């Protein structure tokens, strides 16, 4: 029987390949995700371990927390360079070298703007040009190590993209205005690309001056004498360290550094979620394709039954076929994933998120997980059709047009479908609206709810096929004439089949619609928040809008003659009530540029914060039961503890706030945070927004390559850019599942054409042209897609309503992007047209005579 | 044979020498006013080693009778015994085992599996049952059906007659107690029909293969040891060995009535 199953499969290569495609893409996404994130991790690991080349112990400043609330590494406090000599004097130290590191040393490109890093660090390092370089991870590709106050070395990536060579002059933006350096050398980390990050290298005195760390060091790398254990060396070093400095062995330091690249695991799970969606859609397609082929092979199964095959043998034969298809598809997907990883990387690059990379990392885990996932999903999807196949009665071997008998539970199917749908809706409603659910429970009920909803809609969709096909097929009957009418009627012939084919597309469309509506909601709440909050004429932000700006730019801008009010919003992180929170700082001009609604306090508060005052947002106040007079302890990254009183509580505006949970004064912030930075600066000018004012302000900050003057509308647009990029990313990733459902439509059409061979022959014999035949299949495909699209957009609307209802307190409104939805409908029609190309051609090419004799 | 099958032993001793017997078979399709009685009380015994033909005009119930005798369909009332087992009460898996052991089928449309070669099709019942073919027997069978040199051909590469030969080989390969043939020549031209009928007759003569054949062709019925005439759900006439003319005469008398 196994042989029969395998031979049967070999005899239906095209159909097998078509159904396999449905799984290939999902598996490719799984394997591509693993390859991509493993490669990123490999690159980070390699960068991190190279950074501590030849070092046994690393000495660095202690921080209160290693990463801030946005996941960025916190700059550790520096320490006096006198420590280096003490370390070198220790008996078991073979060698020790001090260096400086900085993540905000921005290089200026040929266009006078800072080189964009898309959130990656702009690294600054020090080297000792005359030392033995044993600890130096960098390699010179040309030139020499920078030596002296005006020399720099830059990374190969920047040199290439900005066309810089040894001997050129390049601008560097750190704390103050741009400073210029001569490029002495070009450097790289061997064997690994650093992605969008940039590197600038200086000698130690230059770095100390540039980073404002005169006489200080950030790191000392220590190598032990041979035969000395690392633990012994650490215990020798510890007694001579000041209290704010720590010594770690290299393994511990690397482990710590790797924590800061944890976001690769977020990327992994994020992408795997989309792989899951594609596989889910793929399972629909597989199940549907198998159901159709099984209906077409009833005679074969019945004959096998008359020859003595048991039901179990039939079940096994179908499952073996699925197993083979699943295995081949998974293997193909596994390798396609290698290519897809490149594609995903290119996608990330395109939205400005270029991550380090190294040689492709293809782990055994990738192989195992991809294969298991692909095979198990195919098997699960095949189970129901396989069980149906076992119900084929032997008498079908002799009877024309026998139909599959309904299963024992078939009469419960409509009720079960309805219950599934209702359960899905209830579970979703519970997950979205219930109060006080733990995150895990909420996610579980949301996930389960969405799954059940999709199953429920798919199971009930056959009831909607007739009305939807009449409605959506109307244009086809107008455009396609007789072929169009036949096409529309064909979609109604087997409503179950049309429903399950359309349902696969429904899933993709529902998610795309959800994303579009939520995106529009976030956008409009953000805009209304800006309208409500912003009172200033201009805003100054970094060129990429989100990187903080040195306060020097604000000071420079304040000198402009036309400025009537200026307010920089400082941004940092502090540990408050045990977790790392966003901390902002303002001064008394705030009410002139930002309109806040105070729950407690007034517009006078920002000017009265002084050295011990703070204001908080109302949610934070509510969560921690804060009111005027409450005490707050803030621990800065450099482990200073600030005690402040709550002086005001403002109402957190819907759609986003420029402030952290806690806001203190500039005075207190600048005294306790190293290198204070503004997330944005708001400016009022005499006469408001005019071209002359714009020019004056731009001229004033010309020395700051990372600063950009914006009007309110530019400000909005720039802030929406990242959102738009995220939307594009989501659309592209969801496109994958739409493509899978497109394969589903192709499958159904190919099988349908195959099944209707005699009928198509008859139509051709009575005068249907090839062109009309093609048009008939095409319209059938479009009507099927449109049914999927209509169901999907409806489900997407429903999901979006639920989500916006749940997040109404966050201010995400329900806003419908009509233009986008129209584009989705057009895309749906395109899916139908594309899916029909191949099956329509097959149908049109049928030989009339042979088709008529076909049985 | 399972205990369940053994427990379903015949209530009435079959006619001695009969491998298949039926008692008072009725079969009603549909319900209420639209109900159709395909069989209205048919009893018969198929003697061992004979070729029995069931004749009748279309709609006479002959196909229904064969489906019920072969266990493909269940009678509304009445009982069928095959090789001593009352099949009316067997469940699906016991019925499947019975088919493996005792029944061979020949279909009007051949029902070969297109992806298997001629030889593989012939051997299919054995491989389904997980039995090893006896090489000598297979060779003898292939040469008898005249396909020794076409054993590696697939059905699509064979003519209709050759395909039916493969189907006959497939029906005989497990040496079943009884072979049921459903209009075996219904889809063949007259020359080929003659060859197929000769092959069927010779299998009865050479191996004593008990065979029941449903047909509406007088020429086919004429190779039978016994011809049963069915009309309107009842056996109306029975002939021994008859020539085509006698068969046609009976048939005409049936259509006239």
* SS3 of chain B: CCHHHHHCCCCCCCCCCEEEEEEEEEEEECCHHHCEEEEEEEEEEEECCCEEEEECCCCCCHHHHHHHHCCCCCCCEEEEEECCEEHHHCCHHHHHHHHHHHEEEECCCCCCCCCCCHHHHHHHHHHHHCCCCCHHHHHHHHHHCCCHHHCCCCHHHCCHHHHHHHHHHHHHCCCCCEEEEECCCCCCCHHHHHHHHHHHHHHHHHHCCCEEEEECCHHHHCCCCEEEEEECCEEEEEECCCCHHHHHHHHHHHHHC
Hey, is the C-beta of B161 within 8 angstroms of any chain A C-beta?
no
Instruction: Please answer whether residues A340 and A381 qualify as being in contact, where contact means their C-beta atoms are separated by less than 8 angstroms.
Output: no
Burial of A111 (0-12, 13-18, 19+ CB in 10 A): exposed
A569/A673 same-domain check = yes
Name the token pair of A376. 């198990």
Q: What is the pLDDT of residue B11?
A: 39
Contact A304 B128 (CB under 8 A): yes
Which candidate, A663, A658, A676, places its Cα nearest to that of A632?
Answer: A663
Contact A10 B99 (CB under 8 A): no
Nearest to B128 among A10, A300, A308 (CB): A308
Please write the tens of the pLDDT for every residue from A718-763: 888 888 888 999 999 999 999 999 999 999 999 999 888 888 988 9
In a domain, A395, yes or no: no
A120/A256 same-domain check = yes
Which candidate, A787, A743, A227, A745, places its Cα nearest to that of A462?
Answer: A787
How far is the C-alpha of A701 from the C-alpha of A560, rounded, in Å? 9
Hey, is the C-beta of A230 within 8 angstroms of any chain B C-beta?
no
Nearest to B113 among A300, A311, A398 (CB): A300
Name the token pair of A78. 């520096």
Mean pLDDT is lowest, of A28-32, A226-230, A337-341, A702-706, for A702-706
Name beta bridge partners: A213. Answer: none
Contact B127 A304 (CB under 8 A): no
A591/A691 same-domain check = yes
Hey, is the C-beta of B62 within 8 angstroms of any chain A C-beta?
no
In a domain, A768, yes or no: yes
In a domain, A408, yes or no: no
Q: Which of B64, B75, B115 to mutate to test the interface with A (most CBs of A within 10 A)?
A: B115
CA dihedral A613, A652, A266, A281 (to 10 degrees): 170
In a domain, A417, yes or no: no
How far is the C-alpha of A514 from the C-alpha of A502, rounded, in Å? 18
**DSSP assignment, residue A364?**
H
End-to-end C-alpha distance for chain A, whole angstroms: 25
CA dihedral A333, A339, A342, A343 (to 10 degrees): -70
The verdict on pTM exceeding 0.90 is no
Domain assignment of residue A721, given as a range: 443-533+713-855
A608/A741 same-domain check = no
Q: What is the pLDDT of residue A472?
A: 92
Q: What is the pLDDT of residue A491?
A: 92
In a domain, A437, yes or no: no
A654/A723 same-domain check = no
Which chain B residues touch A393 with a CB distance below 8 Å?
72
Hey, is the C-beta of A387 within 8 angstroms of any chain B C-beta?
no
Q: What is the pLDDT of residue A90?
A: 92
Q: Which of B97, B124, B154, B186 to mutate to test the interface with A (most CBs of A within 10 A)?
A: B124
In a domain, A356, yes or no: no
Contact A398 B108 (CB under 8 A): yes
Mean pLDDT is lowest, of A410-414, A459-463, A624-628, B237-241, for A410-414
Domain end call among A705, A730, A758 = A705
Domains and CATH numbers, chain B: 47-74+87-256 (3.40.50.300)
Contact A300 B128 (CB under 8 A): no
Name the pLDDT band for A855 (thresholds 50, 70, 90). low
Q: Which of A306, A315, A321 to mutate to test the interface with B (most CBs of B within 10 A)?
A: A306
Name the pLDDT band for B14 (thresholds 50, 70, 90). very low
What three-state secondary structure class fits A169? strand
Which chain A residues touch B67 with a CB distance below 8 Å?
395, 398
Hey, is the C-beta of B96 within 8 angstroms of any chain A C-beta?
yes
Hey, is the C-beta of B107 within 8 angstroms of any chain A C-beta?
yes
pLDDT at residue B3 greater than cutoff 70: no
Which chain B residues touch A8 with a CB distance below 8 Å?
113, 115
C-alpha triplet A853, A854, A855: angle, nearest 5°: 115
pLDDT at residue A650 greater than cutoff 90: yes
Name the pLDDT band for A401 (thresholds 50, 70, 90). low
A724/A691 same-domain check = no
Name the pLDDT band for B13 (thresholds 50, 70, 90). very low
Hey, is the C-beta of A11 within 8 angstroms of any chain B C-beta?
yes
Nearest CA in chain A to B174: A307
Contact A394 B99 (CB under 8 A): yes
Q: What is the pLDDT of residue B32?
A: 82
pLDDT at residue A409 greater than cutoff 80: no
Distance from CA of A852 to the nearest CA of B (A): 16
Contact A306 B105 (CB under 8 A): yes
Contact A395 B99 (CB under 8 A): no
The residue with tokens 């299963």 is: A407
pLDDT at residue A554 greater than cutoff 50: yes
Contact B116 A7 (CB under 8 A): yes
pLDDT at residue A459 greater than cutoff 70: yes
Hey, is the C-beta of B99 within 8 angstroms of any chain A C-beta?
yes
Please write the tens of the pLDDT for every residue from B98-115: 999 899 999 988 999 988
Instruction: Please answer whether residues A106 and A172 qualify as being in contact, where contact means their C-beta atoms are separated by less than 8 angstroms.
Output: yes
What three-state secondary structure class fits A61? strand
A113/A189 same-domain check = yes
Which chain B residues touch A387 with a CB distance below 8 Å?
none
Give Rg (Cα) of chain A.
Answer: 33
Domain count, chain A: 3
Domain end call among A263, A282, A300 = A263
Distance from CA of A394 to the nearest CA of B (A): 6
A582/A618 same-domain check = yes
A727/A648 same-domain check = no
From residue A262, how far is each of A40, A256, A346, A425, A524 by CA, in Å?
A: 11, 11, 21, 35, 32
Which chain B residues touch A7 with a CB distance below 8 Å?
113, 115-116, 120
Hey, is the C-beta of A309 within 8 angstroms of any chain B C-beta?
yes
pLDDT at residue B2 greater than cutoff 90: no
A66/A197 same-domain check = yes
Contact B129 A311 (CB under 8 A): no
Instruction: Please answer whether residues A457 and A433 qualify as being in contact, where contact means their C-beta atoms are separated by less than 8 angstroms.
Output: no
How far is the C-alpha of A757 from the C-alpha of A11, rounded, in Å? 18
Which chain A residues touch B120 with a CB distance below 8 Å?
3, 7
Mean pLDDT is lowest, of A235-239, A657-661, A743-747, A797-801, for A657-661
Distance from CA of A384 to the nearest CA of B (A): 20
Contact A4 B93 (CB under 8 A): no
In a domain, A781, yes or no: yes
C-alpha triplet A251, A253, A255: angle, nearest 5°: 70
Name the pLDDT band for B12 (thresholds 50, 70, 90). very low
Please write the tens of the pLDDT for every residue from A511-529: 999 999 999 998 888 888 8
pLDDT at residue B10 greater than cutoff 60: no
Which chain A residues touch B96 with a CB distance below 8 Å?
305, 308-311
A526/A639 same-domain check = no
Which candidate, A532, A664, A522, places its Cα nearest to that of A596?
Answer: A532
Sign of CA dihedral B172, B173, B175, B176: negative
Distance from CA of A800 to the nearest CA of B (A): 50
Q: What is the pLDDT of residue A223?
A: 94
Q: What is the pLDDT of residue A257?
A: 85
In a domain, A17, yes or no: no
Domain end call among A705, A733, A755 = A705
Distance from CA of A751 to the nearest CA of B (A): 18
How far is the C-alpha of A308 from the C-alpha of A319, rounded, in Å? 19
Hey, is the C-beta of A732 within 8 angstroms of any chain B C-beta?
no
Which chain A residues touch B109 with a CB distance below 8 Å?
855
Which chain B residues touch A309 with a CB distance below 8 Å?
96, 128
A680/A717 same-domain check = no
Nearest CA in chain B to A1: B128
Q: What is the pLDDT of residue B256?
A: 62
Nearest to A398 among B97, B174, B182 (CB): B182
Hey, is the C-beta of B108 within 8 angstroms of any chain A C-beta?
yes
């Amino acid at each position: 029987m196994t042989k029969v199953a395998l031979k049967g499969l070999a005899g239906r290569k095209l159909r097998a390949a078509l159904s396999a495609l449905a799984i290939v893409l999902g598996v490719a996404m799984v394997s591509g995700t693993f390859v991509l994130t493993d490669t990123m991790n490999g690159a980070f690991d390699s960068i991190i371990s190279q950074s501590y080349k030849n070092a046994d112990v690393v000495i660095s400043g202690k921080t209160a927390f290693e990463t801030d609330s946005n996941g960025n590494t916190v700059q550790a406090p520096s320490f006096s360079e006198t420590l280096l000599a003490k370390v070198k004097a220790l008996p078991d130290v073979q060698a020790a070298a001090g260096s400086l590191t900085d993540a905000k040393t921005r290089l200026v490109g040929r266009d006078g703007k800072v080189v964009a890093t898309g959130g990656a660090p702009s690294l600054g390092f020090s080297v000792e040009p005359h030392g033995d370089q044993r600890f130096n991870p960098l390699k010179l590709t040309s030139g020499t190590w920078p030596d002296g106050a005006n020399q720099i070395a830059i990374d190969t990536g920047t040199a290439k993209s900005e066309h810089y060579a040894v001997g050129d002059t390049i601008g560097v933006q750190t704390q103050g205005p741009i400073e210029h350096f001569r490029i002495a050398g070009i450097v790289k980390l061997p064997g690994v690309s650093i992605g969008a990050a940039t590197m600038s290298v200086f000698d130690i005195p230059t770095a100390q001056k540039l980073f404002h760390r005169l006489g200080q060091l950030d790191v000392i790398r220590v190598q032990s004498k041979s035969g000395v254990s690392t633990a012994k060396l650490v215990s020798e070093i510890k007694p001579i360290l000041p209290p704010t400095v720590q010594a770690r062995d290299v393994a511990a330091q690397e482990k710590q550094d790797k924590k800061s690249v944890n976001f690769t695991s977020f990327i992994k799970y994020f992408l795997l979620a989309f792989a899951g969606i594609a596989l889910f859609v793929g399972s629909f397609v597989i199940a549907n394709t198998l159901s159709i082929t099984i209906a077409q092979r009833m005679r074969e199964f019945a004959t096998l039954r008359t020859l003595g095959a048991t039901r179990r043998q039939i079940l096994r034969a179908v499952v073996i076929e699925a197993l083979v298809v699943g295995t081949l598809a998974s293997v193909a997907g596994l390798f396609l994933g290698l290519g897809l990883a490149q594609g995903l990387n290119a996608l990330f690059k395109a939205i400005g998120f270029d991550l380090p990379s190294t040689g492709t990392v293809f782990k055994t885990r990738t192989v195992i997980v991809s294969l298991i996932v692909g095979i198990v999903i195919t098997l699960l999807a095949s189970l129901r059709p396989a069980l149906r196949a076992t119900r084929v009665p032997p008498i079908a071997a002799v009877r024309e047009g026998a139909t599959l008998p309904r299963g024992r539970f078939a009469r419960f199917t409509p009720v079960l479908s309805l219950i599934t749908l209702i359960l899905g809706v209830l579970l979703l409603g519970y997950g979205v609206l219930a109060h006080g659910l733990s995150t895990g429970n909420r996610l579980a009920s949301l996930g389960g709810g969405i799954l059940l909803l999709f199953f429920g809609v798919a199971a009930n969709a056959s009831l909607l096929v007739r009305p939807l096909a009449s409605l959506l097929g109307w244009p086809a009957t107008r455009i396609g004439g007789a072929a169009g009418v036949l096409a529309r009627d064909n979609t109604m012939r087997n409503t179950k089949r049309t429903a399950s084919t359309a349902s696969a597309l429904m899933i993709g469309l529902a998610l795309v619609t959800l994303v579009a509506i939520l995106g529009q909601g976030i956008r409009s709440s953000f805009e209304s928040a800006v309208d409500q909050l912003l009172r200033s004429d201009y805003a100054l932000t970094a060129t990429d809008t989100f990187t903080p700006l040195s306060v020097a730019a604000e000071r420079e801008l304040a000198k402009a003659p036309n400025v009537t009010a200026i307010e920089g919003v400082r941004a940092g992180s502090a540990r408050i009530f045990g977790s790392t929170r966003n901390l902002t700082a303002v001064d008394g001009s705030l009410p002139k540029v930002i309109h806040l609604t105070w729950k407690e306090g007034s517009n006078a508060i920002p000017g009265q914060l002084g050295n011990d005052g703070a204001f908080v947002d109302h949610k934070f106040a509510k969560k921690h039961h804060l009111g005027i007079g409450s005490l707050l302890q803030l621990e800065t990254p450099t482990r200073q503890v600030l005690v402040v009183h709550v002086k005001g509580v403002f109402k957190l505006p819907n759609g986003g706030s420029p402030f952290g949970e806690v806001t203190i004064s500039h005075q207190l912030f600048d005294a306790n945070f190293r290198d204070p930075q503004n997330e944005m600066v708001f400016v009022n000018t005499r006469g408001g927004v005019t071209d002359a004012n714009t020019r004056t302000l731009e001229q004033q900050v010309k020395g700051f390559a990372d600063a950009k003057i914006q009007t309110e509308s530019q400000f909005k647009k720039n802030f929406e850019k990242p959102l738009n990029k995220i939307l594009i990313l989501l659309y592209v990733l969801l496109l994958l599942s739409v493509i899978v459902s497109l394969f589903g439509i192709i499958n159904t059409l190919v099988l349908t054409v195959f099944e209707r061979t005699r009928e198509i022959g008859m139509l051709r014999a009575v005068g249907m042209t090839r062109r009309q035949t093609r048009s008939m299949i095409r319209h059938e495909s479009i009507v099927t897609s449109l049914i999927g699209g209509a169901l999907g957009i409806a489900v997407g609307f429903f999901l979006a309503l639920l989500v916006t209802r749940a997040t109404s307190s966050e201010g995400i409104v329900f806003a419908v992007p009509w233009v986008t939805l129209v584009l989705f409908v057009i895309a749906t029609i395109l899916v139908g047209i594309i899916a029909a190309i191949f099956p329509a051609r097959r149908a049109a090419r049928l030989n009339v005579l042979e088709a008529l004799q076909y049985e | 044979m399972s205990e369940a099958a053994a427990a379903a032993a015949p209530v009435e001793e079959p006619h001695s020498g009969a491998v298949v017997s039926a008692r008072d078979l009725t079969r009603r399709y549909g319900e209420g006013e639209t109900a159709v009685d395909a069989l209205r009380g048919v009893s018969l015994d198929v003697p061992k080693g004979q070729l029995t033909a069931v004749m009748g005009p279309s709609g006479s119930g002959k196909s229904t009778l064969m489906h019920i005798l072969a266990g493909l369909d269940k009678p509304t009332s009445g009982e069928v015994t095959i090789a001593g087992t009352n099949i009316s009460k067997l469940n699906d898996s016991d019925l499947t085992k019975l088919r493996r052991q005792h029944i061979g089928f020949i279909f009007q449309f051949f029902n070969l599996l297109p992806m298997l070669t001629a030889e593989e099709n012939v051997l299919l019942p054995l491989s389904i049952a997980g039995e090893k073919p006896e090489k000598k027997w297979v060779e003898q069978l292939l040469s008898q059906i005249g396909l020794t040199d076409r054993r590696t051909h697939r059905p699509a590469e064979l003519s209709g007659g050759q395909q039916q030969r493969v189907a006959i080989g497939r029906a005989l390969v497990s040496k079943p107690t009884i072979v049921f043939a459903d209009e075996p020549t219904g889809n063949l031209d007259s020359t080929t029909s003659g060859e197929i009928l000769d092959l069927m007759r010779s299998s009865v003569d050479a191996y004593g293969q008990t065979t029941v054949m449903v047909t509406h062709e007088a020429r086919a019925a004429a190779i039978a040891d016994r011809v049963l005439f069915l009309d309107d759900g009842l056996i109306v006439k029975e002939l021994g060995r008859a020539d085509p003319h006698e068969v046609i005469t009976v048939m005409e008398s049936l259509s006239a009535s």
